[in-house]
Amino acid sequence: MWQLDSPVRHYPWGSRTVIPDLLGLPSPADEPYAELWMGAHPDAPSRLADGTGLDVAIAADPDLLLGPVVHQRFGARLPFLMKVLAADRPLSLQAHPTTAQAEAGFAAEEAAGIPRDDPTRTFKDACHKPEILVAITPVEALCGFRPVEESLHCLAKLQLPELKPTIAALARGGLRAAIPQLLALSARRRDSLVTAVANRAAEFVAAHDPEFINTYRWAATLAESYPGDPGVVISLMCNHLKLAPGEAVFLPAGNLHAYLSGAGVEVMASSDNVLRGGLTTKHVDLAALIEVLDFSDGKVPVLHPVLGPGGLRYPVPVDDFDLTRCQVDVAPGVLTTAGPQVLLCTEGTAVLAGPDGELVLERGSSAFVPAGSPVSARGPAVLYRATTGL
């Protein structure tokens, strides 16, 4: 068992309280703490006690640390990344590619000689990036496209001439016609459209009209931060999801989404492929985004855990990762798994016991457990355990 020294990412949308509180640091912090990364992603790997990156340690002995099955399936790398994500402001509207799309896009950009740190680079690696977020505070998010009939009603209710082309495209050709039409608008038309939508949405909110009130409230709010951004209008066609602590959402390839507020434990395939579609000042690759977007519509299910080995497990349809919430009591409980594990303590103090001794995890600390290593834990504490689905 190795205790991890894990990096924090300070993005502008982050919270100044959630992660500092978790880590026992002064709160509110002087800068936003957006994400705490626990894993072996080469951009920001967790470090071991001697300063070695977890990615380097795994590459040196992948059969021992990952296990032969995981090594054969994913190569000499940890296939998942665990994060604590804490948002005080909305993230960008984004989607992630399938493995086949990522491999093709990555190969094309490598052949074109585009540096991997170029801000216009779209595919940073050849991997897909499905993810799950389990709320630890109330979370709001845009997630997938709501039913088309609902979107038509939401847009038409605003009674804006500026929206007529979008409504016509949506009615005639569905989301596959309406979304590209919005993203391709000129800067001048974007400005007038988003301004009109934000103003009218604010009027409905001020009048306390309950229908679509949360959708309209967020549209008006997003327009303040991103004037002229077509993502404001696209948000009207997205499902607005509210997660209570303990509830989760799984985001497959092609799902257009944006976390709006709140904090959660997130586990994803270890990739950095993000294709943005709005609510951002960063590069938007329109052609690549349209290629990877899933234009199907409908409600997105909220995931609830099921009882599994070690605790409450959140089943996902991929084998890159698996996530369990473990309520650890004073009596030791077995946490041994066939694959590698990352364990994060979010409440209390956990004492991990294995063949090489004991390791104490205080709130906010994490550990890496090699594949198949016998390990038990006693608390009281709450641990989140990420491993593979193999």
Q: What is the pLDDT of residue 116?
A: 86
Q: What is the pLDDT of residue 316?
A: 96
Q: What is the pLDDT of residue 120?
A: 86
Triad 221, 223, 229: Cα angle to 5°: 145
pLDDT along the chain (390 residues), means of 10: 96 97 97 98 94 97 97 97 97 94 94 90 92 98 97 98 97 96 92 97 96 96 94 97 97 96 97 90 85 94 92 96 96 93 98 94 97 95 96
Q: Which of 305, 161, 154 is nearest to 238 (CA)?
A: 154
What's the predicted TM-score (pTM) here?
Answer: 0.94
Helix (H) or strand (E) holding 81: strand 80-87
200 is known as an active-site residue = no
How many residues are present in the chain?
390
What's the CA gap between 283 and 118, in Å, rounded?
10
From the candidates 276, 325, 363, 385, give the one annotated as an active-site residue: 276
Q: Which of 300, 204, 316, 229 is nearest to 266 (CA)?
A: 316
Cis omega (within 30 of 0) for bond into 380: yes
Q: Which of 82, 89, 86 is nearest to 136 (CA)?
A: 86
Helix (H) or strand (E) holding 246: none
DSSP assignment string, 302-367: PB--EEETTEEEE--S-SS-EEEEEEE-SS-EE---SS-EEEEEEEE-EEEEETTEEEEE-TT-EE
Q: What is the pLDDT of residue 30?
A: 96
Q: What is the pLDDT of residue 283?
A: 80
Q: What is the pLDDT of residue 49?
A: 94
